[in-house]
Amino acid sequence: MAPIVAVDYVADIEHVDDGRDQSGPYDWSVPIKTIINKHIMKHQSEQSLAENMIWIPGGTFLMGSDRHYSEEAPAHYVTIDGFWMDIYAITNQQFQEFIEATGYVTVAERPLNPEHYPGALPELLVPGSAVFQKPSYPVDLHNVGNWWAYVPGANWRHPEGPDSSLEGRERHPVVHVAYEDAEAYAHWIGRGLPTEAQWERAARGGLEGEEYTWGNEFTPDGTFMANTWQGEFPWQNLCLDGYEGTAPVGSFPPNGYGLYDMAGNVWEWTSDWYQDHHAAHVGHACCAPINPRGAIPEQSFDPHMPDIRIPRKVLKGGSHLCAPNYCLRYRPAARIPETIDTSTSHIGFRCVVTPRT
Ligand SMILES: [Ca+2]
């Protein structure tokens, strides 16, 4: 794919009167409530390290939500410093370049140690990854095994299993990457993974406390703004947004900071350990915590599985599998826990560069 450099993007923005980039395949008559921060533009011309990145301004913002799932509450103010963030999730092509340069082997491609999985069936002790498999009829939503399967041979090169490939999916976000894989890529390219606060600050695009990354209306003027699930999950995917699985990065309009796919498509790894809610960070706008981080590993676990005390990282953004009837999490406040050695067909990542202060 042709590299899209952030400085070119900003040059486009500056040519229009209303502050919005009107190029591209979108219907710009749609009133997207965005704030193009002039501060961003000043920084764009300074960048040389940050190809494919955009400057996210520091400041105080309202993080979390009191209107949805309990783990997002309470909505609270936090303050973070400015940073650079990838405009897109890391693509298969970018990840391929990393693999070719380093010979890195992802977690999903490595042999499993039976000692780590006592009682596991031998046929499952082979390299593989979790793949979404759509049932053909309504199923019990309490059992994720009704739509997730561990598929031997599934990995980032073979997203649905050994017989699948990346052909035609070069610009799709890489999936089947465990946390370690995302971290390895970030280290290789001289960047890092975002904290949860950085990720949410970026996803909100300059909007304060709104439902989605683009405003409060899910489909403004009937336009789909993200790759999510329409229909009754997990058996009925109406594909009204045009995509059943992942979409190429940048297939939907950017948010107010110029970032693409900060809602839906794939969940994205953050560097923070998950805690059940935001209580530790509660603050007022006057004295909000600065650059907050998540739990310590010893306190991190999934509250839905309290007996399994495995620390988990925070995933943000929702995916193409998020649906109103099951997982309404294509919102900037949404968050779920994930074990660091897990890889699936709906988890990817993007990187940040945080200037030293
Ligand atoms: Ca979709």
Confidence of residue 47 (pLDDT cuts 50, 70, 90): very low
Confidence of residue 281 (pLDDT cuts 50, 70, 90): low
Q: Is position 3 within any domain?
A: no
Q: What is the pLDDT of residue 252?
A: 98
Ligand 1 centre distance from Cα of residue 297 (Å): 34
- Is residue 205 a contact partner of residue 213, using CB atoms and an 8 Å limit? yes
CB count, 10 Å around CB of 8?
10
Question: 138 preceded by cis ω (within 30°)?
Answer: no
Q: What is the pLDDT of residue 279?
A: 62
Ligand 1 centre distance from Cα of residue 345 (Å): 14
Residue-range definition of the domain harbouring residue 274:
32-353
* Distance from C-alpha of 357 to C-alpha of 355, rounded to nearest angstrom: 6
Ligand 1 centre distance from Cα of residue 323 (Å): 9
Q: Is position 21 within any domain?
A: no
Residues 100-124 as b or e (16 or more Cβ within 10 Å = b): eeeeeebbbbeeeeeeeeeeeeeee
Ligand 1 centre distance from Cα of residue 227 (Å): 4
Q: What is the pLDDT of residue 196?
A: 98
Residue 66 in this model has a pLDDT that exceeds 80: yes
Q: Is position 12 within any domain?
A: no
> What does the pLDDT look like over 230-265, one tens digit per residue?
999 999 999 999 999 999 999 999 999 999 999 999
Mean pLDDT of all residues in the chain? 86
> What does the pLDDT look like over 108-141, one tens digit per residue?
999 988 888 888 888 778 999 999 999 999 999 9
The residues, any chain, with a CB within 8 Å of residue 271's CB and separated by 6 or more, are 183, 192, 193, 194, 195, 313
Q: What is the pLDDT of residue 29?
A: 38
Ligand 1 centre distance from Cα of residue 51 (Å): 29
- Is residue 174 a contact partner of residue 95, using CB atoms and an 8 Å limit? yes
Residue 201 in this model has a pLDDT that exceeds 90: yes
Q: Is 130 helix (H, G, I), strand (E, B) or coil?
A: strand
Q: Is position 10 within any domain?
A: no
Residue 258 to residues 86, 228, 262, 349, Cα–Cα distance (Å)? 10, 20, 10, 17
Ligand 1 centre distance from Cα of residue 19 (Å): 29
User: What tokens were used for 193?
Assistant: 């993974």
Q: Is position 5 within any domain?
A: no
User: What tokens were used for 291?
Assistant: 């650059």
Residue 275 to residues 60, 74, 246, 301, 346, Cα–Cα distance (Å)? 21, 13, 28, 7, 22
Confidence of residue 153 (pLDDT cuts 50, 70, 90): very high
Residue identified by tokens 């939503």 is 141
Q: Is position 48 within any domain?
A: yes
Ligand 1 centre distance from Cα of residue 161 (Å): 21
| Structural domain total, the chain | 1
- Is residue 101 a contact partner of residue 20, using CB atoms and an 8 Å limit? no
> What does the pLDDT look like over 4-40, one tens digit per residue?
223 222 222 222 233 334 443 333 333 332 323 333 4
Confidence of residue 285 (pLDDT cuts 50, 70, 90): low
CB count, 10 Å around CB of 44?
21
Q: Is position 16 within any domain?
A: no
Where residue 148 sits, what CATH number does that domain have? 3.90.1580.10
Ligand 1 centre distance from Cα of residue 132 (Å): 14
Q: Tell me the whole-structure pTM to 2 decimals.
A: 0.85
CB count, 10 Å around CB of 265?
33
Q: Is position 8 within any domain?
A: no
